[in-house]
Amino acid sequence: MEIDSLSSLERREILLTDIRNAIEVEWANPMKMNNDDAVLRSSLNLSDVDSAYARMRRFAPLLQLLFPETKANAGMIDSELIDVPKLKEALNSIHIRGDITGRLMMKMDSELPVAGSVKARGGIYEILKHTEILAVENGILDSYEDDYCKLASPEARKFFATKKIQVGSTGNLGISIGTISAALGYQAIVHMSADAKEWKKELLRSKGVEVVEYSGDYSEAVAKGREESDKDPDSYFVDDENSQELFLGYAVAAKMLKTQLIHKKIAVDKDHPLFVFIPCGVGGAPGGITFGLKQIFGEHVHCFFVEPTQAPSMLLGMVTGLFNNISVQDIGLSGQTHADGLAVGRPSGFVGEFILPFISGICTVKDKRLFNYLRILKETEDIFIEPSACAAIYGAVCMGKSAVMDEYKYDNKLGKYMANSTHIIWATGGSLVPEEEREKLLKQKG
Ligand SMILES: *Cc1c(COP(=O)(O)O)cnc(C)c1O
């Protein structure tokens, strides 16, 4: 039967069956709204992103003091935006048939300072915001105009040492929260799910962070962490499943990307659409980045998430309309994937519904393909990123070759502008992966 002749209900049934069978799918979001309407109904707006950015600016001198590697970027947590022409050529080869038109670029959050993954954005932001409130309330800072380097003084550290920060994580959020919290002098406790890699736990312990291990998945680690933290009035819990602060920290990326695009003279307008592909776990990082980009570039930016076929939690929540009230385990999927940063069975409690009117679509990818991309990227551009981040590469491939995406381009009247388009693969993590782990990953087949 022709796809066109199927009703939307039938299409949804077929899609859900494929999702349940862990088949790779592409979904163009039928609930995406006209951008002006989406912005109007949204409870957050550009001024929230601006104030998050301003907060990061206030802390920039302190970050340079605590993490000298941030000096190169004046204490701001950001990464390079680079062209990846050789990757594009390889993806368009007869083996992969990506058919990517326009300029292919990569946003190198895999190299972000402090935490080596996109979690540096959200995680550091949330801890700094919490710190600012504590410091002003307790007279460590006189005001928001005070010298924030005071926060590294022995008196300040003595105060923070009486406070706890806790978080549940599959690994990278733990590294981000644990590292910044320990650097400020807090007692940091990271609750790690079974998916978390051993080297991530060792790295945290080496920084004086307490690591608590669970045999269950990410949702269990978060639930246990939340429970422990709630018992203690001096403990603050970073709640990846509900945090608006993490979300806004991620959204700041959009402001910095805008500046980079201007410097590179890359236009984003009706004639020059921008496509962005972001790996999705619980949804905070891709949701926040999408939210920021949509506030800035409106209908000219098209944001797609990519999830593993065994953990398509955001897609399942959106397609069923049940958001965080359904998990991938409920439909018989394992939630397990080598893309450990995306091994999430249930999406964030607020991101799904919040981002629904803004997001263009979601595609799912098999682990086997991720390892293939990991090798291709290394061979063509000499860049290493972790398996989770490789999911974004599949987004760019999908855009070129899937019937669903062709329909999206047609519906959005993008066809004749594709040659002028820019595609950004959001490389979400990788720089902290130890050498011997890289060797193993580069050999892995799936
Ligand atoms: C956490 C993570 C993501 C996804 O972020 P969510 O906020 O969980 O959706 C993607 N890639 C990497 C490497 C990550 O660590």
Q: Is the CB of 288 under 6 A from ligand 1?
A: no
Distance CA 416, CA 214 (A): 52
Mean pLDDT of 420-430: 98
Specify the pLDDT at position 96: 82
CA of 283 to the centre of ligand 1 (A): 8
Q: Is the CB of 166 under 6 A from ligand 1?
A: no
Atom index in ligand 1 nearest the CA of residue 246 equals 7
Given a cut of 50, whether residue 217 has pLDDT beyond it is yes
- Residue 322: band (very low, low, confident or very high) from pLDDT cuts 50, 70, 90: very high
Mean pLDDT of 362-387: 98
Mean pLDDT of 368-390: 97
Given a cut of 90, whether residue 181 has pLDDT beyond it is yes
CA of 118 to the centre of ligand 1 (A): 7
Distance CA 56, CA 64 (A): 12
CA of 55 to the centre of ligand 1 (A): 23
**Phi/psi zone of residue 269: left (φ > 0), alpha (ψ -120 to 50 degrees), beta?**
beta
Burial of 43 (0-12, 13-18, 19+ CB in 10 A): exposed
pLDDT digits 0-9 by tens, 42-97: 999 999 999 999 999 999 999 999 999 999 999 999 999 999 999 999 999 978 88
Mean pLDDT of 3-27: 90
Q: Is the CB of 347 under 6 A from ligand 1?
A: no
Q: Is the CB of 335 under 6 A from ligand 1?
A: no
Q: Is the CB of 429 under 6 A from ligand 1?
A: yes
What's the CATH class of domain 2-115+245-443?
Answer: alpha beta
Neighbours of 375 (CB within 10 A): 15
CA of 119 to the centre of ligand 1 (A): 7
pLDDT digits 0-9 by tens, 39-52: 999 999 999 999 99
pTM of structure: 0.97
Atom index in ligand 1 nearest the CA of residue 122 equals 7
DSSP 105-124: EEE-GGG-TTTSBTHHHHHH
Q: Is the CB of 278 under 6 A from ligand 1?
A: no
CA of 94 to the centre of ligand 1 (A): 31
Distance CA 15, CA 225 (A): 35
Given a cut of 70, whether residue 32 has pLDDT beyond it is yes
Identify the CA nearest to 13 among candidates 220, 372, 323, 320. Answer: 320
Q: Is the CB of 306 under 6 A from ligand 1?
A: no
pLDDT digits 0-9 by tens, 93-134: 978 888 899 999 999 999 999 999 999 999 999 999 999 999
Given a cut of 90, whether residue 365 has pLDDT beyond it is yes
Reading the block at residue 213, the tokens are: 């291990």
Mean pLDDT of 427-439: 97
Burial of 148 (0-12, 13-18, 19+ CB in 10 A): buried
CA distances from 107 to 40, 80, 251, 427 (A): 29, 6, 14, 6
What's the CATH class of domain 119-243?
Answer: alpha beta
Given a cut of 70, whether residue 5 has pLDDT beyond it is no
Q: Is the CB of 200 under 6 A from ligand 1?
A: no
Specify the pLDDT at position 1: 45
Given a cut of 60, whether residue 3 has pLDDT beyond it is no
Distance CA 144, CA 392 (A): 38
Q: Is the CB of 428 under 6 A from ligand 1?
A: yes
Mean pLDDT of 373-384: 98
**Residue indicated by tokens 């991530």:** 200
Given a cut of 60, whether residue 2 has pLDDT beyond it is no
Contact 418, 101 (CB under 8 A): yes
* Numbered ranges of CATH 3.40.50.1100 in the chain: 2-115+245-443, 119-243
Q: Is the CB of 388 under 6 A from ligand 1?
A: yes
Percent of the chain with pLDDT over 70: 99
Mean predicted lDDT score pLDDT of the chain: 96
- Residue 439: band (very low, low, confident or very high) from pLDDT cuts 50, 70, 90: very high
- Residue 7: band (very low, low, confident or very high) from pLDDT cuts 50, 70, 90: confident
* CA atoms within 13 A of residue 214's CA, in its CB half-sphere: 20
CA of 83 to the centre of ligand 1 (A): 22
CA of 68 to the centre of ligand 1 (A): 25
Distance CA 379, CA 233 (A): 51
Distance CA 71, CA 237 (A): 29
CA of 344 to the centre of ligand 1 (A): 10
